[in-house]
Structure 1
């Protein structure tokens, strides 16, 4: 049987095509991205936007596969940072609250009534204090890229209106796994009950807990009013910025141009998500009220009563967070 001999030019062309395909395949990479919430919420939409921008700007060479609902850590959102540091998760858009057990500096944002408005949040994240926080994250094996926003957290319950600290006396309030939240609600006379978000709605449904605290976007999309949460207090007691981040080893394996692509896409996705979250606040509140939820908006005097009731929390937590960081953030707020 005669062997088939291809023309030299055709052979070279085929070989070249194979090499090009192999090179393209070698360069193509897929990474996991963890989030606590799905794309029904702004948080999840931020992850999808990041993935979309990276896919577009890399021309399909880099794919970010989003895993919502903390599924990569079996629903335990407080393990997300550790899992990313260990390389079990490539990337994440995480909450400062959920990551604070591993990065104490992130508790800055959970200090009760520390940030009075969105301008204060921006002054911190966009200034020296924000840089100090990013340095603290990077020192623990994770590279932070950009900020997003989960929003100011509001208080709801099934028992009645809350407009003074005494109204919280004895109420079981679901909180995330952060000791600072335990201390804050204990100072207010409540009975803080730690549980994951996956367990929170069933507990609210059965009455195992009386209330919870979350941004309006979560209250609205998750229809928390349908599980007995008929009373909502707007008290803006803390804000929960989100952080786009990458495992340090993954980051180090990327060429400089891909690092820049990922970082800029994260910055752009974060800015987009922050603007969207803030723009939707008034509409969400109106929708919540239309569903029959009774909303309390605190007067300045009522707000100050909550500030005074939680002042002792600062004495406990400033040293743990870092007095220099807290002071830097306070100065940023005062000069905003």
Structure 2
């Protein structure tokens, strides 16, 4: 074999040997979250980053950007930014992603999930996989579930125990048409605005009430914004989803994909367990600050369910009848 052939062969061998080296390349990825690590949502992202750094021995770094800062505070743009590759990864909300993924509206159907067992039955079964499939078809790879929790209703006017109590109530809601339909069905006056704008509006009385998980109410000190009455009505639950841009994901080695996915799952399970374990203490803290907490009776709860049935008729075709049926079947079998 002549010198030229030896050089060609040597170059080829070096090229072949470069693949494992490239797979071990040190990388940093951006991770978007809407809330900071003062909230369970942000804690989920930080736990993911911690596990990835530990398991990759510092080779892969997830840099978490809270408060939707990668999309200038507009949380509804997070999914499209990740799909286009402007954001590498995210721990996102089904509510915020529902503007681009109609199937994610499943979790916003009013009073679909009565308890945590119902949430788990959906996310861990056929319906949850159908939602994941819909997300992946739109350019984002879903990796695992997390939890934002059941959303409860607070206000500054008085105790709310029946649909009639909401008549004319100005309620801040997130930017989802389904939320508008739900509160309109209950006779309220829903207003879409960011959480940053909501607190001043609640404080001045421009808005009467808001709906959010207890963790958000607690950490954000909504009681200081005239929210003196809290109704535990469990009207919807907002699961979180660990996801990655398909553009970014496709460039990772199989080993790194598995590392990131397993770490996301483990972080999600940790966050779900912690969020649920902390609920009693969170609720007690809210009560200790003078907030009047009302828990609905089964009869009162059913009155709200009945008042929002037209929302199902309108939104089931948009979400997908097969998906809604799969979710209801999972709940009934839990």
Give the alignment's TM-score, normalised by structure 2: 0.93
Give the Å deviation of 1:103: 0.3
Indicate yes or no: 2:217 matched with 1:219: yes
The answer for the alignment partner of 2:105 in structure 1 is 107
Deviation at 1:146, TM superposition (A): 0.1
Shift of 1:207: 1.3
Residue by residue over 1:263-312, the C-alpha shift from the partner in whole angstroms, topping out at 9 and shown as x without a partner, is: 00000000000000000111111110010000111001000000011011
Equivalence for 1:200: 198
User: Given the alignment, which residue of 72, 75, 86 partners 2:73?
Assistant: 75
Question: What residue is the counterpart of 2:298 in the other structure?
Answer: 300
CA distance in 1, matches of 2:212, 2:327: 23
2:315 matched to which residue of 1?
317
**Any unmatched runs of 5+ in structure 1?**
1-18
Alignment of 1:152-191 (within 5 A): 152-191=150-189
1:148 is paired with a residue of what secondary structure? strand
Distance 1:42 1:26 in 2: 31
**Distance in 1 of aligned mates of 2:101 and 2:22:** 38
Matched, 1:47 2:49: no
Distance 2:40 2:265 in 1: 15
* Structure 1 residue matching 2:150: 3-state secondary structure: strand
Q: Deviations over 1:202-255 (max 9, x none)?
A: 111111110000000000111100110000000000000000000001000000
The superposition leaves residues 3-47 of structure 1 with CA deviations (integer Å, 9 ceiling, x where unpaired) of xxxxxxxxxxxxxxxx99xx5897000000000000000000000
Instruction: Report the equivalent of 1:4.
Output: none
Distance 1:330 1:35 in 2: 29
Answer yes or no: is the 8 Å Cα contact 2:24–2:59 preserved in 1: no
Tell me, yes or no, if the aligned pair for 2:152 and 2:231 is still in contact at 8 Å.
yes
Give SS of 1:238's match: strand
Gaps of 5+ in 2: 1-16
RMSD: 1.3
**Aligned pair 1:248/2:229, yes or no?**
no
Q: Could you say if the C-alpha distance between residues 322 and 51 of structure 1 is closer, same or farther in structure 2, counting changes exceeding 3 Å?
A: same
Q: Quick one: distance in 1 between partners of 2:278 and 2:309?
A: 31
Aligned to 2:233: 235
SS at match of 1:151: strand
- Aligned counterparts of 2:31 and 2:200: Cα–Cα separation in 1: 27
How far apart in 2 are the matches of 1:206 and 1:57? 48
Contact 2:44–2:271 (Cα < 8 Å) also in 1:
yes
CA distance in 2, matches of 1:203, 1:86: 34
